[in-house]
A = this chain, B = another copy of it.
Amino acid sequence: MPDSPAAPVTSRVAFRPAVRDDLARIVELIADDAVAATRTGAFGPAHVAGFEAIAASTNDELVVAELDGEVVGTMQLTFVPGISRNGATRLLVEAVRVDARLRGRGLGRALMEHAHARGRERGCALAQLTSDKQRPEAHRFYRSLGYAQSHEGFKLPL
């Protein structure tokens, strides 16, 4: 029986570390968004440099979600050691994206569950992320995963 358009796809999705050949597609996913399009830019050398810096870091992971041989989601994980909250290591989640054609089918939730599993494996006591105030639907999504919307998020260009 074929999937209905709204059927979950998560049983067929695999998560793995990104490789260099995934990068153009990752940039495309990150840029496919009204909020991020202008600031992400077209795929180029700055993204390659970012990829290489992530690959060289033992505390950073770029993850892709693959479905039927195609990259359909991505996120970046950073494991941040610390003193506050009784010496907690934090899991920082950035740049979470799901292919627009697959939204509403459980992929975002599965991606975040994978993030939390990786965080626990690395001994993280806390996951944290920020989401642009222009994304109320993302805020509902994170609250539905159990996140407390407890903080204000600040950004400053350097």
Contact = CB atoms under 8 A, between A and B. Distances in A.
Interface of A: 23, 26-27, 30, 36, 39-41, 44, 46-51, 53-54, 57-60, 62, 76, 78, 80-92, 94-95, 116, 119-120, 124-133, 139, 142-143, 145-158
Contacts of A62: 83
B153 A146 contact: no
Query: Among the interface residues A91, A92, A149, A152, which one has the most CB atoms of the partner chain B within 10 A?
Result: A152
Contacts of A44: 86
A110 to B, nearest CB: 16
A149 B51 CA distance: 28
B128 A154 contact: yes
A26 to B, nearest CB: 6
A158 B92 contact: no
Contacts of A40: 84-86
B127 A155 contact: yes
Nearest to A134: B150
B155 A152 contact: no
User: What 6 A-B pairs have minimum CB-CB distances, sorted nearest first?
Assistant: A151-B153, A53-B81, A50-B87, A46-B87, A147-B154, A130-B151
Query: Among the interface residues A40, A86, A143, which one has the most CB atoms of the partner chain B within 10 A?
Result: A86
Given A40-B85, A57-B59, A151 B152 contact: yes
B158 A147 contact: no
Contacts of A76: 82-84
